[in-house]
Amino acid sequence: MTAAANQSGRRPTTSRRLERAGIRDVAAAAGVSITTVSDALNGKGRLPDETRSRVREVAERLGYRPSAAARTLRTGRSGLIGLTVTTYGEEPFTFTEFAYFAEMARAATSAALGRGYALVVLPASSRHDVWGNIALDGTVVIDPPDQDPLVSELYRSGVPVVSDGKPGNCPVTAWVDNDHEAAVLGILDHLSEAGARRIGLLTGTSTDTYTRLSTEAYLGWCGKVGQEPVYEAYPAHDPAAGAVAADRLLARPDRPDAVYGLFDPNGTDLLAAARRYGLRVPDDLLLVCCSESDVYAATEPPITTLSLKPRRIGTTVVNLLIDAIEGVDSGTGVDIARLFPPRFRTAGNGPPPGTLMPTELIVRASSQPRSPRTTINPPRPPGEV
Amino acid sequence: MTAAANQSGRRPTTSRRLERAGIRDVAAAAGVSITTVSDALNGKGRLPDETRSRVREVAERLGYRPSAAARTLRTGRSGLIGLTVTTYGEEPFTFTEFAYFAEMARAATSAALGRGYALVVLPASSRHDVWGNIALDGTVVIDPPDQDPLVSELYRSGVPVVSDGKPGNCPVTAWVDNDHEAAVLGILDHLSEAGARRIGLLTGTSTDTYTRLSTEAYLGWCGKVGQEPVYEAYPAHDPAAGAVAADRLLARPDRPDAVYGLFDPNGTDLLAAARRYGLRVPDDLLLVCCSESDVYAATEPPITTLSLKPRRIGTTVVNLLIDAIEGVDSGTGVDIARLFPPRFRTAGNGPPPGTLMPTELIVRASSQPRSPRTTINPPRPPGEV
DNA sequence: CACTCTTGGAGAAACGTATCTCCACAGACC
DNA sequence: GGTCTGTGGAGATACGTTTCTCCAAGAGTG
C-alpha cells in the first residue's frame, strides 16, 4: 500500500461509488501523493513531464473536477466579481432597464471572463441576504449615490470596489466615468451651430452623478450664453413619466426650439410629443438624446444620439478592479499583492484615482442645420441602415 | 483560559490585527465555543435567548462576517446559479443583445435573489477556464442546441440544469418554453383576418428550437391553407443582416402583403424597407414582429408585436431550478433532498418534465384590418404612449 | 570518501465553517 | 438514594484544496 493510498484510506466503506472523485482519489489511482496531483494539475512544483501527464490522464479518466469551494477557501480567491447598480429609484431591479446598463454589463462580463473572472449580479439593497453568502474578490458599483452605505460596508469588509460614475463620498478603490460636462457642452454647442435659439433639457429627478453633472453643465451653459433655462425633470426609472415630461416640455409657453434628453427613451418620447404638436424635426425642433440604442438610426427622422460608450466603460471598470484584486499596478507591473493583501490597499489617503472617458456624438438628421426643404420621407439608398 | 480560547489559541502571534475576525474570535470574545457561536448565529441548536443575543452582539461588535467559501465547502451549497446562452452564433457574448434576453435575465435574477440565490453569467463555450472555478448549485441554460456538450458536462458533474427552450437531446432536469407553434398559428390567423392574402416570414438560419419550431409552424400552415411559402432566412446574430433580409423579402416578385418577423429588430427593419419601396403600413403591408421592446408602441405606425413574456419565463425557470436544487417537489412539498442528493435526481428515465407557457399578441396599428383611410399621422390623445 | 546540489515527491498544516457526538449538570420521579 | 430526562454547550471531525517544509536518493565535485 502506498503512502498516498494510506492518506486517502479513511473514507467510509459505504456507498463510495456515489461520491464525486476528489483529489485524494486521483492520488490513490495514480499512485502518487496529493501534493503531486495538485502540482501536476496546476502546473506547479518540479515534476517530470511523464508524471505530470500521467496524473492528468488519471484525473481525466476519473472525471475529476477540483472543488471550487475548497480552492476558494484555501487561496482566498473566488474568481467572482459583484456587479450592482444602485440608483434609478427603489425598484428591486432596474438593471438592464436601459440599453446602457445592458451594454455595459455585457462588456464587463466579457472583460471579466477574459481574465478568468465571472460576474455576479447583485442588488444594491437587501443587506446580508445574499451579499454575505458570496465570496467576492471585488465589486463593480454602477452610479453609487453619495455616502453609499453599501460601498462603505464593502470597504469595511475589505472588498475592493471600482465604481462606474464618479463617487460622491465613498471609499472606492478607483472609479471611471464619462466626461459628462464636456459631453453636454458639446451637444449644446452643436445645437447652437445648427441654429437653435432656445435649447431645452429633459432631465431626471434623481441625485446620481450623471443627472447632476449633466444638469449643472446645462445650467452653467445657460448662464454663460444668457439663455433662460428651459427644462423638465422626471423620475427616470418610470418609463411612462418620460412621455409626460416630454409633452410638458413642448407644451410650455417658452417652448424650446431644440431639446436634449438625458435618457434613452427620450428620443421616441420627444418625437411622439413633437408629432402631437405638429412640430417638424428638425425644421421646427432640433433633437438630441443620450442613447445606446440603434433604433434611432431608423426612426423618422433618424435622431442624433450621444453615446456614453458603455462597452469601453465596462471593460475599463473591470480591468481596473482586477488589477486591484491581483495587485498589479498597470503602470509599473509591480506585484503588490505579495506585499499587502488587496483589502488594505484602498486605505490610501487622498481621493481615489479616477479616469474620465470621452463620449461620442452620433450626428443624424434630427440635428441637421435647418434647411427650407421638408424632411418627410427623404430618399435614402437601401443599403443605409 | 476557557476551552474556547484554547481552541483558538493556535493563531500565530504576528499581525493578528490585520486578520478578519473569524468564528473562533467571536467564540473567544464571547467566552463560548465555536459550536455555540455557529448555532447562535444560524438559529440552530438549543440555546437560551440570552446566550444567543449575547453571541450575536459580540459578533456584530467584531464585525464578524462568516466566510462564504468555508460555508460552501462545508454545506455543499454555494447559493450560486449559472446563467448561460448558447445559441445565436459564435459571438463570445450575444447576451442581452436582444431585449428578450435582457428581460429574461432580469426576471431570473430577481427571482433568484428572492429565494436567496445569485446569478452568475457564464459563456457557453470556454470549457474549464471559468466554469470549473465556480461552485454552482445549478444552471439555467437558454436555448441549448441539440446534444449540447455543455449540458452533458454539467449533467455528468451532477449540476441540475433547467433550460429555457425545449431541449433537443440533452439531459436537463426540466425545461420551460413558449408554445411557439400556437403563437405562430395565432399570428397567421390574425393576419389573415386582417385581410392578408400572402403572408411572408422573416426567419433565422440558426438551428435553435425557437427558430425551428416557428418556421415549421409557418410551413405547416402554408401547406394547410395552400399558400406558397414566402420567406427569407438570415443569421439572426448579425444586426446588419436583418435589414438586408427585410429588403430582399420585399423585393421579391411574389412580394407578400403581410410579414411576420421572428426577431426583435425586424420591426424597424421591415418598416424601413417598406418605406424604401413606398409601401404603406398597414394599407399595403401588414406587419407583426416578435419583440419585447416598447419602441414599437411609438413607431409610425405602431407595430403589432408578439411578446414571449420573458419575465414569466425567467421567473419560472429559476423557480424550477431552485426547487430541484433544494429537492422540493412543488406539487407535493416533499423534501426529496434528504433522501437523494440533487445530483442524482436528473437520472430518471423518460423525457424531462417541461412546461409550455403562452405568449401574448399586442395588436397595434400595423396589423389593423385594411380600411380606405390613410394612417399617416393619425390623431392620438397625448396620454397614449 | 565526504560534501553539496538537484530532482522528485511525501507529509502535514492550514483555510473557516457546520454538525455529529457526547458530557455535565440539575431537577423530577419512584 | 438512584435513575431518568431535558438543557446547555464543549470537542472533534470533515469538507477538499493549496502550499510550506522537509526528506531521500542520485549526481556531481573536491
Q: Which amino acid is at A104?
A: M
What pLDDT, in 10s, does the model give residues A310-325?
A: 999 999 999 999 999 9
pLDDT at B20: 79
**Integer Cα distance of B22 and B62 in angstroms:** 9
**At CA A34, angle to CA A29 and CA A35, rounded to 5?**
135
Q: Which of residues 73-102 of B touch strand C (CB under 7 A)?
A: 73-75
Contacts of A69 in chain B (CB under 8 A): 69, 72-73, 78, 135
Residue in this structure with the C-alpha cell 421567473, named with its chain if needed: B315
Least-confidence region, from A180-194, A326-340, B133-147: A326-340
- Residue A76 in this model has a pLDDT that exceeds 70: yes
Q: Which amino acid is at B234?
A: Y
Looking at the partner chain, which of B70, B272, B300 has a beta carbon nearest the beta carbon of A73? Answer: B70
Q: In what order do the strands lie in the sheet with A230-234?
A: A230-234, A199-204, A258-261, A286-290, A304-307, A360-362
- A46 strand C contact, CB < 7 Å: yes
Q: What is the mean pLDDT of residues A139-146?
A: 88
Expressed in percent and rounded to 5, the helix, strand and coil fractions of chain B are 45, 15, 40
- A16 strand D contact, CB < 7 Å: no
HEC string for B133-201: HCCCCEEEEECCCCCCHHHHHHHHHCCCEEEECCCCCCCCCEEEEECHHHHHHHHHHHHHHCCCCCEEE
pLDDT at A87: 55
Q: Å from B265 to nearest chain A CA?
A: 8
Report the DSSP beta bridge partners of residue A138. Answer: A81
Regarding predicted confidence, which is higher, A215 or A210? A215
For residue A10, give the nucleotide whose C1' atom is nearest its CA. D14
What pLDDT, in 10s, does the model give residues B159-211?
A: 999 999 988 888 899 999 999 999 999 999 999 999 999 999 999 998 778 89
- Residue B27 in this model has a pLDDT that exceeds 80: yes
Q: Å from B352 to nearest chain A CA?
A: 22
**Integer Cα distance of A128 and A142 in angstroms:** 19
- pLDDT tier, A335 (very low <50, low <70, confident <90, very high otherwise): very low
Q: Å from B53 to nearest chain A CA?
A: 18
Task: Copy the grid coordinates of residue B159.
Answer: 449540476
pLDDT at B13: 38
Contact in structure between B359 and B260 (CB atoms under 8 Å): no
Regarding predicted confidence, which is higher, B171 or B230? B230
Q: Pairing between strand A304-307 and A199-204?
A: unpaired
- B68 strand C contact, CB < 7 Å: no
DSSP for A97-147 reads: SSHHHHHHHHHHHHHHHHTT-EEEEEESSSHHHHGGGS--SEEEEESPPTT
- Residue B377 in this model has a pLDDT that exceeds 50: no
Q: What is the mean pLDDT of residues B18-40?
A: 89
Contact in structure between A142 and A124 (CB atoms under 8 Å): no
pLDDT at B118: 95
Bases along strand C below 7 A from a protein CB: 7-21
What pLDDT, in 10s, does the model give residues B82-92?
A: 998 765 544 54
Least-confidence region, from A128-132, A267-271, B74-78, B314-318: A128-132
- pLDDT tier, A127 (very low <50, low <70, confident <90, very high otherwise): low
| Contacts of residue B51, Cβ cutoff 8 Å, sequence gap at least 6 | B32, B36, B40
pLDDT at A277: 96
Mean pLDDT of chain B: 83
- Residue A382 in this model has a pLDDT that exceeds 80: no
Regarding predicted confidence, which is higher, A373 or A106? A106
Mean pLDDT of chain A: 83
Instruction: Look up residue B346 and give its DSSP letter.
Output: G
| Percentage of chain B modeled with pLDDT above 70 | 81
* CB spacing of B276 vs A380 below 8 angstroms: yes
Contact in structure between A314 and A108 (CB atoms under 8 Å): yes
Contacts of A294 in chain B (CB under 8 A): 239
For residue B73, give the nucleotide whose C1' atom is nearest its CA. D15
In this structure, the dihedral spanned by the alpha carbons of residues A199, A200, A202 and A205, taken in order and rounded to 10 degrees, is 120
pLDDT at B338: 33
- Residue B145 in this model has a pLDDT that exceeds 70: yes
- Residue B344 in this model has a pLDDT that exceeds 50: no
- Residue B271 in this model has a pLDDT that exceeds 60: yes
**Integer Cα distance of B357 and A9 in angstroms:** 51
Q: What is the mean pLDDT of residues A2-22?
A: 49
The number of beta carbons lying within 10 Å of the beta carbon of residue A245 is: 27
**Integer Cα distance of B69 and B47 in angstroms:** 26
Contact in structure between A274 and A247 (CB atoms under 8 Å): no
Q: Pairing between strand A360-362 and A258-261?
A: unpaired
For residue A65, give the nucleotide whose C1' atom is nearest its CA. D16
CA of B56 to C1' of C19 (A): 20
Q: What is the mean pLDDT of residues A194-206?
A: 95
Contacts of B72 in chain A (CB under 8 A): 69, 72-73, 135
Residue in this structure with the C-alpha cell 420567406, named with its chain if needed: B231
